[in-house]
């Protein structure tokens, strides 16, 4: 009882795992077909593969329990196995679609979908061919086992096992012949695929449990395919007896071709003679001549002419070696036996002829399929060529359109530049004209004022005139002035020119002096502007601090701050004394600054490789750009040339 309880507990645990695995498989299956990018789809496909492998291991365990006689209720186990096999088929479809390239032959052929009826027929033929291949593998395994048992010691003890394996092979061949005929009927629309699909469970059960004693007790080979109604159809049934006859006839043909004699087993001949003598003992007694075999009797001894005549017409009568015939009735029985042999040969020849016709039909179907595939490939190639031509034409049109658009843009830009240049030139000309007009007006006004002043004021003496000329025009001599102004001019005009020059020089100097005072530097210009000082300060109440506290200039305060706060001060108070104090405190806490990445690193463990130029190992670094957190970097190579080592602790 304890063993049965443990087994049931183990079965419940495995069934629970199967339910969870199937649920997880369905979730990943939905993710695979919901993924938009190819890399995500491949990732989910790998997860799906891992899950199906787990389910396959559980399926092997379930199959072991199904074949065991310790488990009584096997319905739930069979349902679980079928569910796992369904998921395996789904995974095969998904894997095939994932690995199929878009522009491959299969990918292009996949676009030409079949109608639902054709798909259902193909699906039925697929599972039938799968079962046929499985049965053929079983036959090969059984033949290998038979050879092993026959060649080893203890042949008599293995006789029962050999007979059992031979029986399995005969049953498998029978089902293979039936399934192949059914597959052809479904392909030719003689048999409905839905009717065949109803038998899938029974055939599957036979393939899985044909060695089970429980299955063999209720197994009826003759009525296995009665539900399909094959007797009402024109189907060639190849059963085990016919196949056995074909094998025996083939062996006999080989023997006939190798030698010109036919040897009849002595067992059969003696059995016939004994049965005849037993029947003749009840009737009248006849004289039986004593026949003694000669020493020279062997395979070259021949029968009498009568026996040769009864053996049937043949181009070359083979020599037959038989045991001695005591009576004429024995000769009749031997002739009947030979006639039966001929009948069997004729039946075998007819079966071989039918088999040859079937093979020819299969070859014709195969040829037609190949021709259809070749036509499909040609159509696909033509479609590909047309698509490529269309794509090339579209690309050429797009390139032409782009070139035309570029030309238009360039022309528009050139026109705009010309218009801008013309506008600038016109504006410059207008400004020059305005300036000239202003200068002319100003000069006329100054001349008018000077004339009025000269008329009102008396002419200055010559000594004062020389002083004014020296101070106003910066060292110009009286001779140059006299050369410029002829002596014929009046003293009033000379005084007016001197006063005008002095006035212009004084006004220009005063203007330059005033302009220089506007941009005069202050003492605050030598200090660096801090980021926290606003250009347009907002009016705040008197209780609100307007400057940072002086306590943050104390290095002892930074020893009490956390790592995140130190990193914030370092990255957001650059160029300040507080940044220096934060960097020094981080270096005290075994953080090292990398000048190339501008990031702080800390050893997570001892370096794996240490040289004079670098060290390599696992490090913790502070990610200030994306996450503002600490991350781990394995197999990082820290070169000493990028190490900030100028900071003194």
* pLDDT 10s digits, 41-80: 888 888 888 899 999 999 888 888 888 888 888 888 899 8
pLDDT at 619: 96
Lowest mean pLDDT among 128-137, 175-184, 349-358: 349-358
Choose between 486 and 203: higher pLDDT.
203
* pLDDT band (50, 70, 90) for residue 339: low
Lowest mean pLDDT among 153-157, 216-220, 455-459, 645-649: 455-459
* pLDDT 10s digits, 203-251: 888 888 877 776 666 677 777 887 777 766 554 444 443 444 445 455 5
pLDDT at 578: 93
Query: Would you say residue 26 has pLDDT above 70?
Result: yes
Own/partner pairs, 101-105, CB within 8 angstroms, 24+ separation: 103/384, 105/377, 105/380
Mark out the alpha helices in 522-623 (DSSP H runs). 555-558, 563-572, 577-588
Q: Model-level pTM?
A: 0.26
Query: Would you say residue 84 has pLDDT above 80?
Result: yes
Pairing of strands 629-639, 614-623: antiparallel
- Report CA-CA distances (Å) from 373 to 105, 107, 125, 366, 368: 11, 15, 18, 10, 9
Q: How far is CA 462 from the centre of its chain?
A: 108
Query: Would you say residue 516 has pLDDT above 70?
Result: yes
* Domain spans in the chain, listed from the N-terminal domain onward: 2-241, 245-276+303-392, 421-515, 551-642
pLDDT at 232: 62
What the block records as the tokens of 306 is 């009568």
Q: What angle do CA 62, 64, 70 make, to 5 degrees?
A: 100
DSSP label at 190? S
Closest of 511, 510, 509, 499 to residue 472, by C-alpha: 499
* pLDDT 10s digits, 94-107: 888 877 655 555 55
φ and ψ at 638, to 5 degrees?
-100, 105
pLDDT at 645: 85
User: What mean pLDDT, rounded, does the chain reach?
Assistant: 74
**Rg over CA atoms, the chain:** 57
Closest of 599, 604, 587, 605 to residue 629, by C-alpha: 599
* pLDDT band (50, 70, 90) for residue 638: very high
Class of domain 551-642 (CATH, top level): mainly beta
Cα gap 440→448, rounded to integer Å: 12
Query: Is 44 buried (19+), middle (13-18) or exposed (0-12) by CB count in 10 A?
Result: buried
Work out the percent of the chain whose per-residue pLDDT is above 90: 16
* pLDDT 10s digits, 497-507: 666 666 777 88
Closest of 595, 596, 589 to residue 630, by C-alpha: 589
Query: Would you say residue 496 has pLDDT above 70?
Result: no
Over residues 71-92, mean pLDDT: 88
Cα gap 205→75, rounded to integer Å: 12
């Amino acid at each position: 009882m304890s063993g049965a309880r443990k087994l049931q507990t183990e079965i419940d645990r495995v069934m629970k795992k199967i339910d969870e695995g199937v649920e997880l498989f369905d979730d990943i299956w939905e993710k695979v077909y919901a993924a938009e990018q190819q890399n995500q789809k491949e990732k989910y496909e790998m997860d799906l593969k891992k899950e199906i492998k787990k389910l396959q291991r559980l399926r092997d365990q379930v199959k072991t329990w199904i074949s065991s006689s310790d488990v009584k209720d096997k319905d739930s186990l069979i349902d679980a196995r079928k569910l796992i096999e369904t998921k395996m088929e789904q995974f095969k479809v998904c894997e095939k679609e994932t690995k199929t390239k878009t522009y491959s032959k299969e990918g292009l052929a996949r676009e030409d979908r079949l109608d639902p009826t054709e798909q259902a027929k193909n699906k039925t033929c697929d599972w039938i061919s799968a079962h046929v291949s499985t049965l053929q593998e079983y036959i090969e395994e059984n033949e290998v086992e038979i050879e092993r048992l026959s060649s080893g010691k203890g042949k008599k003890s293995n006789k029962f096992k050999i007979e059992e394996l031979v029986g399995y092979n005969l049953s498998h061949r029978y089902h293979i012949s039936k399934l192949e005929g059914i597959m052809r009927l479904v392909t030719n629309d003689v048999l409905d695929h839905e009717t065949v699909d109803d038998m899938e469970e029974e055939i599957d059960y036979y393939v899985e449990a044909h060695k089970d004693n429980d299955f063999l007790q209720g197994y009826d080979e003759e009525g296995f395919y009665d539900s399909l109604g094959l007797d009402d159809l024109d189907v060639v049934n190849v059963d085990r007896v016919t196949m056995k006859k074909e094998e025996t006839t083939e062996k006999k043909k080989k023997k006939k071709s190798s030698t010109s004699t036919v040897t009849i087993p002595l067992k059969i001949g003696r059995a016939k003679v004994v049965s005849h003598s037993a029947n003749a003992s009840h009737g009248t007694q006849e004289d039986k001549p004593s026949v003694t075999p000669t020493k020279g009797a062997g395979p070259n001894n021949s029968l009498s002419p009568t026996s040769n005549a009864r053996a049937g017409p043949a181009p070359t009568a083979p020599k037959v070696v038989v045991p001695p015939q005591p009576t004429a009735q024995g000769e009749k029985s031997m002739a009947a036996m030979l006639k039966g042999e001929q009948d069997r040969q004729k039946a075998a020849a007819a079966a071989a002829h039918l088999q040859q016709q079937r093979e020819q039909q299969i070859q014709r179907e195969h040829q037609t399929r190949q021709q259809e595939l070749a036509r499909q490939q040609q159509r696909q190639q033509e479609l590909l060529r047309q698509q490529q031509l269309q794509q090339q034409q579209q690309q050429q049109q797009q390139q032409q359109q782009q070139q035309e658009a570029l030309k238009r843009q360039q022309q528009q830009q050139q026109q705009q530049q010309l218009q801008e240049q013309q506008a600038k030139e016109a504006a410059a000309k207008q400004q020059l004209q305005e300036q000239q007009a202003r200068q002319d007006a100003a000069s006329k006004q100054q001349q008018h004022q000077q004339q009025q002043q000269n008329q009102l004021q008396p002419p200055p003496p010559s000594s004062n005139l020389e002083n004014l000329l020296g101070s106003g025009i910066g060292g110009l001599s009286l001779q140059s002035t006299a050369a410029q102004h002829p002596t014929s001019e009046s003293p009033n005009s000379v005084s007016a020119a001197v006063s005008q020059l002095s006035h212009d020089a004084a006004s220009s100097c005063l203007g330059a002096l005033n302009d220089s005072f506007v941009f005069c530097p202050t003492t605050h210009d030598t200090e660096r502007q801090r980021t926290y000082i606003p250009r347009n300060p907002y009016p705040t109440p008197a209780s609100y601090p307007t400057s940072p506290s002086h306590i943050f200039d104390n290095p002892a305060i930074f020893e009490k701050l956390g790592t995140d706060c130190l990193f914030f001060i370092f990255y957001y108070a650059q160029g300040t004394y507080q940044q220096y104090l934060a960097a020094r405190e981080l270096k005290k806490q075994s953080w090292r600054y990398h000048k190339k990445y501008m990031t702080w690193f800390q050893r997570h463990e001892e370096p794996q490789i240490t040289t004079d130029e670098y060290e390599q190992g696992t490090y913790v670094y502070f990610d200030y750009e994306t996450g503002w957190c600490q991350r781990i970097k394995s197999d990082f190579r820290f070169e000493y040339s990028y190490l900030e080592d100028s900071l003194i602790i």
